Structure 1
Amino acid sequence: MKEISVSELKQWKEEGKKFQLIDVREPFEYEMSNIEGENIPLAGVVIEAEKIAKDIPVVMQCRSGARSANACMQLENNFGYNNLYNLKGGILAWAAEFDSDMQVY
């Protein structure tokens, strides 16, 4: 599984790189704090796989990186995705490095 750091993700955003960001946390978590990804909770990733791009890089993100890693594995194993990146450290790493005011739990 490929991984991306929060620094690399920030660089992609700043450069205007075309990619899709999927937040696999639950809606209440997403509402508390997010980094502007599309919210598809882990339980719905396989069901809603058609919403996840295959032709551009896709960054999967959660609180710490565990659920998003699970989502990557499910999509790679069941649908043959090869363009997925797991965000190392998830939103906790983003908050620690770039947004100390972000509400995390």
Structure 2
Amino acid sequence: MEDIDVEELKERLDNKEQFVFLDVRETYEYEEDNLGAKNIPLAQLPNSLSELELNKEDEIIVHCRSGARSANAKAFLESKGYTKVRNVLGGIMAYRELEED
């Protein structure tokens, strides 16, 4: 699936649209600043797939700090049969820049 930019993410969050929202940053990063997503650090994702099993057919939007870890998470989830995974381009850094404008 096509990735998502922070403008579209913000619009969808503001409209309270339904999707699975996943943050793959480390716990300490999540605790410092989060957008309300479910936090599963990238390194723990392989052992935490059971938490996402019921969402295999749902749209999953993954973000991290800059978009690199979430791109890896997207590739991993797709390799496990998840077909509607989207990476947030630029991550939370780009999202916070958008909010400052």
Q: Same fold judged by TM-score > 0.5? A: yes
Counterpart position of 1:25: 25
What residue number does 1:103 align with? Answer: none
The question of 1:66 aligning with 2:61 is answered no
| Matching residue of 1:49 | 49
Tell me which stretches of 4 or more aligned residues in structure 1 moved more than 6 Å: none
Q: Is residue 56–residue 81 contact of structure 2 (8 Å, CA) maintained in 1?
A: no
Q: State the shift of 1:28 in Å.
A: 0.5
- Report the Cα offset of residue 99 of structure 1: 4.5
TM-score by length of 1: 0.87
Higher helix share: 2
Q: Which residue of 2 aligns with 1:6?
A: 6
Alpha-carbon separation, structure 2, partners of 1:5 and 1:85? 10
| 5+ residue gaps, structure 2 | none
* Aligned residue identity for 2:49: A
Aligned length: 99
Give per-residue Cα distances to partners, 1:36-90, cap 9 Å, x unaligned.
Answer: 101100011111112222232111110000000001111111x111110000000
Q: Distance in 1 between matches of 2:50 and 2:12?
A: 23
Q: What is the CA–CA distance in structure 1 between the aligned matches of 2:32 and 2:89, rounded to whole Å? A: 20
Structure 1 residues not aligned, in runs of 5+:
101-105
Q: Is the 8 A contact 2:74 2:87 kept in 1?
A: yes
